[in-house]
Each structure stands twice: as C-alpha cells, then as structure tokens.
Structure 1
Amino acid sequence: MQQSKFSFHHELGGLEVLHNIDKKTDFGRHNHSGYTVALVDCGAQRFFRSGAQHLAGKHSLILINAEQVHDCKKACEGVSSYRSMYPTPELFNCLMDSNKNRAPYFSEAVMHNPALALQLNDLFTTLDSAAGLLEKQTQLVHFLDNLCQSAGRVTLADEQKSLKCRIELAKSYLLDHVFDDVSLADLAQLIHMSHFHFVRSFKAQTGLTPHAFQIQHRLNHAKSLLRHGQSISDVASHVGFYDHSHFSRHFKKNMGITPNQYRQAC
C-alpha cells in the first residue's frame, strides 16, 4: 500500500522530511535546493546521480548533493520504503559556521555504514515524535557532523581559546535551565561557537551530548522526587518530560529499572 508522509520542521531551519512507503511512481530527473539524505528501510531503490546509476539496498544511505540532478525508481519486488530529509546548504552553514561557506560535498552516492544508518533511523524517529527542541537539534547536529566526517569534504573551525571555560559556562546554563526546553542555538550563541563545534566539544569534555547531560540531571532530580513519594506522572511533568512513557523510557535506560520499581525499592 503506497503511503507518503511529509513534515516541515520550522524549528530546525525549515528541514523537510519525507517518508515514502512502497512508492509506485518513478521520479524523473530533477534536483532539490537542499541535500537529499535518505535511509532505505526495506527493499531497494535505484537512482541516477553523477552520470551513473546507483543501487541502494536495505539499511543503506542515499546521498545527493544540493542542486544535483537525480532520479529515483523502485528496484525490487515487494514492498520498498525509505525516509529522506533535505537539509539546505544554508542549514549546514548555520550549524557549522555561519560566517563561512562550509557546506559539504558528498562524493559517495550510496553509503553502507551500519552505525550511521542506525543513527539516522533514531533521528527520523525523534523528528516524528513529540520530543523537545534540544533533543531534536542535538540528534540532527550529531548525525550531520558524523556524516560529514565520514563522507563529506568539509573543514570545521579551529579550536578557540578558553574552550574549557566556555563549555563550563554552557553546563552552568543547562543546570540553571534543566527543566526548560533549551535550544541548541541558545547554547552555541552563549559561548560563541558553531553548533557542530559546540556539540563535539561539549561531548569531548563531558562525555555526554548537551541533551544527554540535561536528561541525566533531570533524572537525578526525578529520583529525589520519587523517593519523597510523588506520583510518576507528576514527577515526569515536573522535570520536563513530555509524557509518562517518555520519562519511563529514559529512566529505565539510565537505571535499568522502571520509575515504579525504583519508587517501590525506596
């Protein structure tokens, strides 16, 4: 059964996302103003790019540069589906260094990289959820950064002075706003760094992404509230999770037990 789902993310620089399930109609040669970064979920897709035909099977990534002419055809029997996003060069420049043209060029049309495929799958899942702004932005930047390092010809800005002090400032800001829906732009602007450089430096110094750092401290506070007898729903809302299941999933991932098991044990 053919299905298509499209979403437009204003909060992510106008990022477009498309999910095609068993597309019957072939796309003729065309181009986009943004890059095409797609994940084949099942089946296979055949497409033209850079003067040649390419075949992308299950769990492979399709990479097409901005303005690059291409087409797209189903290349298998049975169901074939893929999810794609279209980050623009302007979005890359904004995330990496807004003062210079640092959008990448991808020479590979198809990538077989299980780690990147898993990360892109997680990103699409998050973008399709009610997750907070920081979580979506962090996952987007983290994936695009890893993609550029693996496949894109791009040079990031050099390290600047007082990196440790600036990351400490970002940590303090996150702790002061641990229950708020903080944006990646707010944090990067606070310490005068590009989004890519900030996320990478923050993780290098703390061992966590900004979002994971925020989640960890939310969970620490949640445990205190649970120990004092507050209901799980009230705790989830108080510490900034958008619903009970979102809170429970993060809690179990962090603690290995559910919030209810923790509360009963206390």
Structure 2
Amino acid sequence: MANSQTHFLRSSVLPFELRYSDNSNACYKKHSHPEFSIGVVDSGVSEYINQNLKQEISVGSTVIINPEAVHSCNPKTGTNWSYKMLFVQPDWLTDLQNSISGTEKSEFQLFKQKHSRCSTLYQDFQSLSQVLIENESPLLVEESAITFFSNLILNDLKAPFINIIPKQATHLAYQYISDNVDNNISISEIARESGLSHFYLIHSFKKQYGITPHAYQMMMKINKAKILLKKGNDIVSIATDLGFTDQSHFHRHFKSIVAATPRQYKKNR
C-alpha cells in the first residue's frame, strides 16, 4: 500500500474544497457529484473517464468535470500518482458566467472541454491551489479564483474579453482601496463601492493601473509600513495593525517590494 495521505482544504473565503494527495494508489468507482471540479496530475499516469471520454493522462494534464457528470480518475494498474482536485459550488460559477456574458441565466452553463494539456492552464491551476493552501489574504484568494475561472470560461467560449468600463468606476475602486489600507477588504466590498462586477473590477483595474487590486492593496500597506518603521514603531505591531496574518506574511511581502526585510529597513532609517 502506498504511503500517502489525502488532504482536504475548505476555503474560508469561497465555496471551494481542495483535495490533494501524493503517492496514492487509491481507486474510485465511477461517480458523480453536484459540484463542478477541475484538477491536475502532479506525478504518475492515470486513467481518466468522463462520460464518453476515456484516456490516459499524466503530468501536465488538467481535467474539467461538469456537475453531475459521471467520471472516474485512477492510477494506472500497479502504479501510484499525485494529484490536486478543486471542487466548486456551481452557483458561484454561474454568477461569474453571468457577469462575463452580461446575462442573468439561472442555470450553470456546461463546459465543453473535458481535458487539456495547456501548460498555462496547468500552471495557473497550481498557482491558484497554492494561494488557497496559504489562504493569507481574502482579497488575494478571491482575486486569484476569479481571474483563473474567468480565463477558463472565456477559453471554453473561445470569446475575447472586451473592456468597456468607464475609467471613473475603476478609479472609485482605486480610491476605496487607498482609503482602507489598514483593513483586509474583500473583492465584494470593492465591487460594491465601484459599481462593477467582480470580473470587470479585476480586469478593468489591471488594464487602467497595470496592477491587480490585491497587488495595489499590498503596495499601499508596505508604503505605510515604511513610514511607521522610519518612526521607530514595533515590527510586530505594524504587521498586526496593517492586517497581515502573521510576521512571516508581512516579512515576505515587504521584502518582495523593498528588497530588504522590515528589520533591515528599520535599522537603516
């Protein structure tokens, strides 16, 4: 029996559940579930069945499974595999689909694609999974998920994204983030303030300012932290007051922007 353990991670921010396992030989009967699911193979070779599709998949493969679709995915006989699988409540995706299309459909729109070898999709899923596992910022979790699934929807529709949002609406989002540097605000709060949907908020903000809402929020937090460090404030207190989950979270983001640790920066003020 393989020495493996399956992990289940339920997001505190979104209706998501991430399941991941290393070196597993566990097998599943054909089954279905009400959630939409998408997953990747990290190692090994597996047999993937999704309704009328049956094929071997390996590292770099991404599987896409609509709600209630009968499927299975198991390691090739006599082998082990590693994988990640993300389960998403359909209502959340339906809202995003409507936001992108500008419609008010009540039912989830089925994805046409069931399998992909696209390296970009594979890497983007790995990045989203890492954000969900770390779960360090609600804004980053929402932003990452909306960006990933927006691209998935647009690619499945083979539709280009057209941004026709007035600049004033995006500026309201920009100003709201600026005014709430100390708070861990959510995408929903920013969207409500600007009058934009979650989808258009993220895409429009990046197009207008060249940076995502979360990246801008983090930049403003670090700029304020620099001011407080130069005043001699305590590092632990700064991290707490600016809404960082812990010191390592603060340390990592500070160094990525300033190229020095908070302690180094304070010492040379």
Greater mean alpha carbon deviation, residues 106-115 or residues 236-245: 106-115
Give 1:240's aligned residue: 243
- Distance between the aligned counterparts of 1:114 and 1:260, measured in 2? 39
Give 2:9's aligned residue: 7
Give 1:206's aligned residue: 209
Instruction: Find out whether 1:112 has 2:117 as its counterpart.
Output: yes
Q: For this pair of structures, how many residues does the alignment match?
A: 263
CA deviation vs aligned residue, 1:159-179 (integer Å, no higher than 9, x gap): 566x21111111111111122
Listed as ranges, the gaps of 5+ residues in structure 1 are none
Give 1:37's aligned residue: 38
Give 2:157's aligned residue: 153
**SS at 2:24 equivalent:** coil
1:259 Cα deviation from its structure 2 partner: 2.0
Query: What fraction of aligned residue pairs are identical, expressed as a percent?
Result: 27
Please report the TM-score for the alignment, with normalisation by the length of structure 2. 0.87
- Distance between the aligned counterparts of 1:9 and 1:199, measured in 2? 20
Distance verdict in 2 for CA 1:54–1:214, change over 3 Å: same
Distance verdict in 2 for CA 1:261–1:55, change over 3 Å: farther
- Distance between the aligned counterparts of 1:66 and 1:154, measured in 2? 21
Please report the TM-score for the alignment, with normalisation by the length of structure 1. 0.88
Greater mean alpha carbon deviation, residues 46-55 or residues 220-229: 46-55
Contact 2:25 2:79 survives alignment (8 Å): no
**SS at 2:244 equivalent:** coil
**SS at 1:128 equivalent:** helix
**SS at 2:13 equivalent:** helix
Which of 158, 177, 181 pairs up with 1:178?
181
Contact 2:124 2:148 survives alignment (8 Å): yes
Instruction: Find out whether 1:131 has 2:136 as its counterpart.
Output: yes
Give 2:83's aligned residue: 82
CA deviation vs aligned residue, 1:152-207 (integer Å, no higher than 9, x gap): 2276997566x211111111111111221211112222233321121111111111
1:11 Cα deviation from its structure 2 partner: 2.8
Greater mean alpha carbon deviation, residues 228-237 or residues 174-183: 228-237
- Distance between the aligned counterparts of 2:239 and 2:208, measured in 1? 28
Give 2:218's aligned residue: 215
**SS at 1:19 equivalent:** strand
The residue type paired with residue 207 of structure 1 is: G
Give 2:104's aligned residue: 100
Contact 1:47 1:55 survives alignment (8 Å): yes
**SS at 2:60 equivalent:** coil
Contact 1:96 1:197 survives alignment (8 Å): no
- Distance between the aligned counterparts of 2:65 and 2:74, measured in 1? 15
- Distance between the aligned counterparts of 2:22 and 2:158, measured in 1? 33
- Distance between the aligned counterparts of 2:268 and 2:154, measured in 1? 45
Contact 2:25 2:75 survives alignment (8 Å): yes
Instruction: Find out whether 1:121 has 2:130 as its counterpart.
Output: no
1:53 Cα deviation from its structure 2 partner: 1.2
Contact 1:54 1:110 survives alignment (8 Å): no
Cα RMSD (Å): 2.4
Greater mean alpha carbon deviation, residues 92-101 or residues 221-230: 92-101
- Distance between the aligned counterparts of 1:10 and 1:130, measured in 2? 8
Listed as ranges, the gaps of 5+ residues in structure 2 are none
- Distance between the aligned counterparts of 1:42 and 1:190, measured in 2? 44
Which of 244, 257, 262 pairs up with 1:259?
262
1:47 Cα deviation from its structure 2 partner: 0.9
Distance verdict in 2 for CA 1:115–1:250, change over 3 Å: farther
**SS at 1:106 equivalent:** coil
- Distance between the aligned counterparts of 1:257 and 1:78, measured in 2? 46
